[in-house]
């Protein structure tokens, strides 16, 4: 079974950079696309972007100019950076393992609440 943990600073000021890391270990994790998803207060889920084991990335066009997802294969970790945050970026951020064969998120991280406040 794939285990995952995620961590990062929980409170940011406007214009700062959000930084989160997700660690994945156990199971057959090499075939997944590793994904970041967020849920703003009182709203649904938004897809942020993904990265595969080769380091190929794909981003939501609405966030593309501010998002970077990177891989640290030696540590089985992948990271999210979101620059120039505003209050609209306040959300719970999840990492998830996406199976591109059948298009579902097989595993999710526990989520990290990020609050952007002056």
Core vs surface per residue 88-97: b (16+ CB within 10 A) or e? ebbbebbbbb
Stretch 16-35: interaction string toward another protein, x if CB under 8 A: --------------------
The answer to whether residues 48 and 67 touch, using CB atoms and an 8 Å cutoff, is: yes
Work out whether 47 is an interface residue with another protein (CB under 8 A).
yes
Cα separation, 23 vs 11, in Å, equals 21
Q: Which of 13, 41, 103, 117 binds another protein (CB under 8 A)?
A: 103
For the CB of residue 18, give the shortest distance to another protein in the complex, in Å. Answer: 19
The answer to whether residues 26 and 3 touch, using CB atoms and an 8 Å cutoff, is: yes
Q: Which of 80, 109, 112, 114 binds another protein (CB under 8 A)?
A: 109
Structure token pair of residue 11: 């409170």
For the CB of residue 19, give the shortest distance to another protein in the complex, in Å. Answer: 20
Three-class SS state of 73: helix
Binding site for another protein (CB under 8 A): 43-47, 49-50, 58, 60-61, 94, 96, 98, 100, 102-111
């Amino acid at each position: 079974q794939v285990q995952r943990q995620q961590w990062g600073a929980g409170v940011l000021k406007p214009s700062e950079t959000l930084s989160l890391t997700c660690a994945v270990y156990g199971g057959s994790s090499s075939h997944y696309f590793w994904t970041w998803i967020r849920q703003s207060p009182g709203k649904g889920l938004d897809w942020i972007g993904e990265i595969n084991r080769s380091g190929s990335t794909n981003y939501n066009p609405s966030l593309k100019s501010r998002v970077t997802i990177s891989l640290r294969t030696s540590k089985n970790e992948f990271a999210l950076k979101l620059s120039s945050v505003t209050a609209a970026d306040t959300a719970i951020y999840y990492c998830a393992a996406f199976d591109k064969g059948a298009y579902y998120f097989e595993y999710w991280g526990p989520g990290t609440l990020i609050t952007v406040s002056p």
